Structure 1
């Protein structure tokens, strides 16, 4: 194993890998999590906002739900391209630069949808927004991982990922208030301007990863500023090393298929694909399904908000389960329970009279399905070392976004066959996710096993 580059100095050597992995989870490190969480919340909001607006757009323009399938698909194409590209750029030009640029891009493109005059306009803007939405997540999760000690890393990443359903929940609440009073265009004004404000905050307040700066040979002043964000004092004149640095010399997609990572890379890609597909089927088409069954727009938006709220609780529970039992047991439990929940949803009648049963079931399904999805990001940050972490997370999530592309058409087609087929698609995908996760061979061990290993 080769150590990472050394920054010159006359004082003692400071091992950044040791500081990051074994140091305390200080207030300044938690501030990095909070800043990245702001970006992820807006990613979740902007990602889902079109699904809330489609029923109102259909009524205004006199079009059908199938007319929006290309717009949804092109948005997911943008994310499919933007996610691995953003991850790669995060390893090449910096996690912070990739994150700030991505947030600005999806904010501008989302705001532009307020000016759209038909589904074709939305297709263009959603593709551009998708590039930014895709690029933000791998940069944010990598930054979170590289400012968190090892024993808290899964929890920290999951607290970041939980902000996706929080963003969706906020979107549902906004839609319930803004759609009846101000129309669908107001949704895109609000959800487009907010990211640009957050991007300014990130540009000034968010530090760059010290391990990234060391590997890229950054000047000493930048590196020391970043190290201070770890909440530690460094002796004057110290020089920096990373003895726990990557075994891969240069970030590249090919490095993901080296012998140590090949099996886990392929299994992660399949798991992301079949887990994200049902998530986006629900995000894009659940409001349309519910309104077609006589449930009003406000209640349909509330149902998707409950799905996301369940996901918030599910991500936190999954983080605890991974720490307690390891990622294999934790993720398999969430995926298996999510498939059972979807099977139950497929057999209950959907109508305004069944809402007292439907709403709790949507909460439970969000708990397990979004908990499983968030767990995959935590697993990916564990599988890959620093030098290819952003690339690895981005590539896996990018392959998953291809499932989102498929969801635009599968969801629309499944609606034509009724709620049984709609939720049947979700069950099938989650069974395949379960199988793929079981194939991954670089799972995170439980904290208890790690403690015994150090004893």
Structure 2
């Protein structure tokens, strides 16, 4: 029986998954703060949209670096270390952003926050995959990643209450302080991944204790002697096509996700929506994304990811096309476009969350954190491009959603190119080594 693929699912295992999921909730919460505060910042500081786009872009540069760094740390020093370090960095930067007094300070702190934010979802997905059984792995990994949307729901709901009453600085102070308190608590209770411990003989006693708590037998000692394969294995041989397909899918998918996170409130404000309703629009999108991702994970268990993910991306193409021309009435809270944003979350955003489960399946254990890091870095490049393009895409609703429709078409094609899809019933590969 392989480590990370045990036959029993107990309360301790579920508890660890929930602890890891909390870090992703915090990632989603802190990640969306600047986008939520953008309309107020543009008004208070008199900034041009292009300046704000440059700040977003610096954040994504930090995220690309952080994603690759987290992959290296996760495979070399442990998944636990990569996650906790990332959360500590972005929590501190978010808290400090509330004290920013100039554009350069805002940009520097956004870049620093990006370093921390970049590696958490991918590393968390790898860690959750190694704590869950093969049958439930796709659902568990998708649940962990979808917590980004849950964090977004919390953030946008808080913004709707805090922004009109207290101003944008309180958004960063509250989010940063909550994050720091939680990461300090996690240092005491979050264990290391068994998939990492099995490859480090000096930590044998820690692994044996962990496997006992999980209700599994320790793995054969021969597994401990396996060497770490080079990262070039991801871009040569059998894995090359999957790496390219997943990286392209992540690029286009994160373009959509971060264009929505960072620019949807500003786009809605330009259409005449109030500050409260611009935040609620993102809430609708995140609720749809959360619901859709969990539904997608269940469908993957029955149909596999080869059918499910391209279908979701294809539906998102149509949704974006409709949103580009749907009638809106800001005075009546634009119910049609709010529903459309929820459906976009239900399809397009859901596909991106479920993609992390596909990555955790497609990349073998010794390369998993680095493979997730590489596809994550491609996603950060997509997010970077969205930050720069968003400053002019928000000028018109048709161009905004027209671009997203094109991106979801690329997303669907990339999913079809991947060979190592999760098979039906989520049985996955029976060996992790």
Indicate the TM-score class for this superposition, using the shorter chain for normalisation. Answer: over 0.9
Structure 2 contact 328–336 (Cα < 8 Å) conserved: no
| TM-superposed deviation, 1:255 | 2.1
Unaligned runs of 5+ in 2: none
- Aligned 8 A contact 2:68 2:374 in 1: yes
Q: In the alignment, what sits opposite 2:319?
A: 341
1:41 matched to 2:20? The reply is no
Q: Does 1:207 align with 2:191?
A: yes
Deviations 1:334-369 (A, max 9, x none): 111111111110011344146121111111111111
2:353 equivalent to 1:374: yes
Instruction: State the match for 1:305 in structure 2.
Output: 283
Where 2:422 maps in the other structure, the secondary structure is: coil
Q: 2:258 aligns with which of 269, 273, 280?
A: 280
User: What CA distance in whole angstroms lies between the structure 1 residues aligned with 2:213 and 2:79?
Assistant: 15
TM (norm. structure 1) is 0.90
Answer whether contact 2:93 2:110 (CA < 8 A) is retained: yes
Select 2:272's aligned residue among 291, 294, 298: 294
Alpha-carbon distance between aligned partners in 1 of 2:248 and 2:364, rounded to the nearest angstrom: 20
TM-score norm. by structure 2 comes to 0.95
Q: Which runs of 4+ in 1 moved over 4 A?
A: 448-451
Unaligned runs of 5+ residues in structure 1 are 1-14
Cα distance, 1:239 vs. partner? 6.8
CA–CA distance in structure 2, aligned partners of residues 249 and 105 of structure 1: 30
Task: Quickly say closer, same or farther: Cα 1:138–1:295, change in 2 above 3 A.
Answer: same
Whether 2:237 is the aligned partner of 1:259: answer yes
Does the aligned pair in 2 maintain the 1:75–1:126 contact within 8 Å?
Answer: yes
Distance in 2 separating the partners of 1:449 and 1:52: 40
Question: Please, what is the CA RMSD of the aligned residues?
Answer: 1.8
Choose which of 233, 249, 256 in structure 1 pairs with 2:227.
249
Counterpart check, 1:81 vs 2:65: yes
Q: Is the 8 A contact 2:4 2:194 kept in 1?
A: no
Q: Match of 1:52?
A: 36
Judging changes above 3 Å, is the alpha-carbon distance between structure 1 residues 254 and 344 closer, same or farther for their aligned structure 2 residues?
Answer: same
CA positional deviation for 1:138? 2.1
- Mapped contact 1:306–1:359 kept (Cα < 8 A): yes
Note the C-alpha offset of 1:21: 1.5
Q: Secondary structure at the match of 1:25?
A: coil
1:291-316 Cα shifts (integer Å, max 9, x gaps): 11111010110110010000110111
Corresponding residue for 2:411? 433
Instruction: Specify the alignment match of 1:149 in structure 2.
Output: 133
State the distance in 2 between where 1:399 and 1:266 align.
10
Aligned equivalents of 1:22, 1:113: Cα separation in 2: 43
Aligned to 2:337: 358
Residues 304 and 423 of structure 2 are in contact (CA less than 8 Å); yes or no, is this contact kept in structure 1? yes
Larger Rg: 1
Q: Distance in 2 between matches of 1:299 and 1:310?
A: 16
Contact 2:94 2:175 survives alignment (8 Å): yes
Cα shift readout 1:410-455 (whole Å, capped 9, x = no counterpart): 1111123x1100101100000001111100011110118879xxxx
